[in-house]
Structure 1
């Protein structure tokens, strides 16, 4: 696969910085965006192997980003991970009924983030 490309969409700069540094250290190619609309544009331009997306953001929230990217033939199969502090997220994920979507709860542990990312990319 070469370097796995990850797109991180979050409006919190500190989260973007931590995740970007972490994934770059782990030899991923990382793209970051601070709102949902820019995230959609970046996904279409860069075609990442996986998307990490905050739920609550300006312009377009995580659900809107998810819906738009899943409706697009080019991006519909990209694994999508929500970043959220919503402890009721599992119920919402079940409602989506999509096996290509997962979530990471905030505050997160970086080793759990990597475990979830690797599972969704199907890499060791």
Structure 2
């Protein structure tokens, strides 16, 4: 972490430059946003849903889309993204999981863990 701070705040600019471009974004959040997340790590977190035999193919596809998004972006900053494409092309989470809202809540908790770790 110290090396990244030196790189960003001394070698490439100043702390003020960083704040101008990235505001109060923690370095760890910025890095995760830039490089994304390892697919295996994301799959491991969501495996209990992906392997859940009680979920139908559309529900599993929705979870796979979440994994893809997190792999690409590192985390989901705002859950509202789940109301946009490609998610909405599968259906809204409330409609997809209407009979399994407990699972939907667990999925959202898992989504939040990626943000909380930063």
**TM-score relative to the length of structure 1:** 0.27
More RCO (CA 8 Å, sep 6+): 2
Question: Rg larger in 1 or in 2?
Answer: 2
- TM-score between both structures, scaled by the size of structure 2: 0.28
Q: Which structure: greater helix fraction?
A: 2
